[in-house]
A and B are shown apart, each in its own frame.
Chain A
């Protein structure tokens, strides 16, 4: 277990949402670096809030969906493994 609670395969699946997150991140940086229309306390705050809130919400949803799915998979594998052991035991007793 590394920095995340996900295994390699789940991380690979989650990359699908890393791409839109990357685009949102790119625009947040771009709006900071290139700012031809000036800074306005209200407008600029809303501007960053729109992109930023999407970034945060997508990250949270992706995390929890990934966790729910990988937990369910782990349970399934555990159940299959248990069944497999039972079957072997049955065979050996037969």
Chain B
């Protein structure tokens, strides 16, 4: 016993030494120790003054909004990869009715984790990535209003993710199998400790999102430059402002409900049990958060498209103020539609009808935006770059996702289609086809700014077409599956063919899996393109999209900032022709890249 403990101590000691050795290799610790440098001995110090510490310490200690934006982005893309692989496992499982590869309980676990991961660990953070990097640049602020809170908000996320995935990472405790909606009484009765960890992790990400939201509201209200007012605030910042307000009202409620659920699970309270408020209470609280969450996720992507699409259509966004007012309208109305997720729970039909009324009303502001995007394209000088392709794909997918949503808002239709794959198809058109596409548009559009390099344009287009085709095959097949009566969330579907046409159901599951494979290939290309281009892509000039020529009035503030950055980097000392913005190449080379970048 003592021998074992000794061995363990030695092992831990060796590990610590290894970590210290590794960190000293990554970073010269003396470089930012005020007393170091050997100046007292009169020797020349090797320490150089940098704007930021180098190496990994930079990323652990940064409070710069741009660095935090990149951290959010990297974190979100990693989560997207995890969630995507889970999705692919789900589709592979459903190739045959008896389940192809995994056990039912594991299927339930990855189904749960896929939903939570994509919505809370990918969706919200990737929006925060863009917002952190670009909102201060777009509104002429020096940084976020509270830079340290900004950093703390990000650093709550990695532990949150570890907790959410804890059920998979810690052997033997069992992952949560509650589905992302965590409906009571199932979520109370499950015994896996992984479910408790997931609830805690979710709570942590909610706290992070709320801190971020307060920061954005404060930044946009108080830190705007002198020349930025409510009339010329850009559309992306407007959507971030509205989203932040939604987060402020919605996420604390989720936090409270999660704590109540944790207490039901562990302390024998009865908030959501039959003896207490009942399982419906959970649904009311969850969806009062959950429906605004849909708009928390979709409004900023709408803002991204409203911002990027005009720049490749060569004209200003048609009806800019229509888009602003309709964004605000969605912000308000999103809190009056939560129970349209609950039409089939047996609630009073008079209540249900009022939720139907508000749900139909909220379709209008969304439709208004769609017409604005289409009208902006009308007679525009369209350049089909990767970001523009993703914007157009976004509009197309949003029309299908939106119209299928209007059907679900009608009580009689919902009663037929509720809890079938139709619902899954509808919201995946929105989350993948709309939110995902806008995110890709944003990543490609701003790639030159946050890397200083250009991505591989051909691979960008491959990524778009595979994503567009994959999305439509997969999720259209799901809409059809819903009409055929295939229930959602099932790990197997060996039902009696008299209930639903089993042969057709099998075929459409196959089609959906083929679509998911195409999607997977597209995303692999995306990851390769981003990583490879970040490391080796050609350096860009000040105007990588050639906006000054194509649409001078749309040359955005963030590109003005980018141009200034390149210019000030040049003036950093030394002879101008030898010093470059890019670590060694002559400046002419950087300029030569610019027209290439804008070719398409």
Do A and B interact with each other, yes or no? Answer: yes
Residue numbers of A with Cβ under 8 A of B are 13-14, 16-17, 19-21, 23-24, 27-28, 31, 37, 40, 43-44, 46-48, 50-51, 53-54, 57-58, 61-62, 65-66, 68-73, 75-76
B361 at the interface (CB under 8 A from A): yes
Docked CA distance A40–B499 (Å): 39
Q: Which of B324, B326, B354, B364 contacts A27 (CB 8 A)?
A: B354
A49 to chain B, nearest CB (A): 8
A16 in complex: contacting residue of B336, B354, B365, CB < 8 Å: B365
**From residue B325, how far is it (CB to closest CB) to chain A in Å?**
5
Given the complex, which residues of A lie within 8 Å of B328, measured CB to CB?
Answer: 17, 61-62, 65
The residues of B with any CB-CB pair to A shorter than 8 Å are 229-232, 319, 321-322, 324-326, 328-329, 331-333, 335-336, 348-351, 353-355, 357-358, 360-362, 364-365, 368
Q: Can you list 11 A-B contacts (CB < 8 A)? A: A16-B368, A20-B362, A27-B354, A28-B357, A40-B350, A46-B354, A47-B353, A51-B354, A61-B331, A69-B324, A73-B231
**CB neighbours of A72 from chain B (8 A):** 229-232
A76-B351 CB under 8 A given contacts A19-B364, A57-B332, A61-B331: no
Q: Whole-angstrom distance from the CB of B589 to the nearest CB of chain A?
A: 41
Cross-chain pair count, CB within 8 angstroms: 107
- Chain A residues with CB under 8 A of B353: 27, 31, 47
Contacts of B365 in A (CB 8 A): 16-17, 20
Q: A16-B325, A19-B368, A50-B354 are in contact. List 16 more A-B contacts (CB 8 A).
A: A13-B321, A14-B325, A16-B368, A20-B364, A27-B360, A31-B357, A37-B350, A43-B348, A50-B336, A54-B336, A61-B328, A61-B331, A62-B329, A69-B321, A71-B230, A76-B229
- Report whether over half of chain B's contact residues are helix, strand or loop; otherwise say mixed: helix
Which residues of A have CB within 8 Å of B336?
50-51, 53-54
A69 touching B357 in the complex, CB below 8 Å, given contacts A19-B364, A62-B328: no
Closest to B365 in A: A20
With a cutoff of 8 Å between Cβ atoms, the chain B residues found around residue A27 in the complex are: 353-354, 357, 360-361
Find chain B residues with CB under 8 A from A50 CB: 336, 351, 354-355, 358
A91 to B361, CA, bound (A): 55
Contact of B229 among A51, A54, A61, A75 (CB under 8 A): A75
Q: A54-B361, A65-B324, A69-B231 are in contact. Are A17 and B354 (CB under 8 A)?
A: no
User: Does the CB pair A13–B358 fall under 8 Å?
Assistant: no
Instruction: Give the distance in Å from the alpha carbon of A30 to the alpha carbon of B326 in the complex.
Output: 24
| CB-CB under 8 A for A65 and B349, given A24-B361, A48-B354, A53-B336 | no
**Looking across the interface, which residue of chain A has its beta carbon closest to that of B323?**
A16
Contact indicator B332/A58 (Cβ below 8 Å): yes
Q: Looking at the complex, which one of B230, B324, B351, B362 makes contact with A46 (CB distance below 8 Å)?
A: B351
Closest beta carbon of chain B to A50's beta carbon, Å: 4
Q: Chain B residues with Cβ under 8 A from A46's Cβ?
A: 351, 354
Q: Which residues of A contact B326 (CB under 8 A)?
A: 16-17
Known: A16-B365, A17-B325, A43-B348. A69 touches B230 (CB 8 A): yes
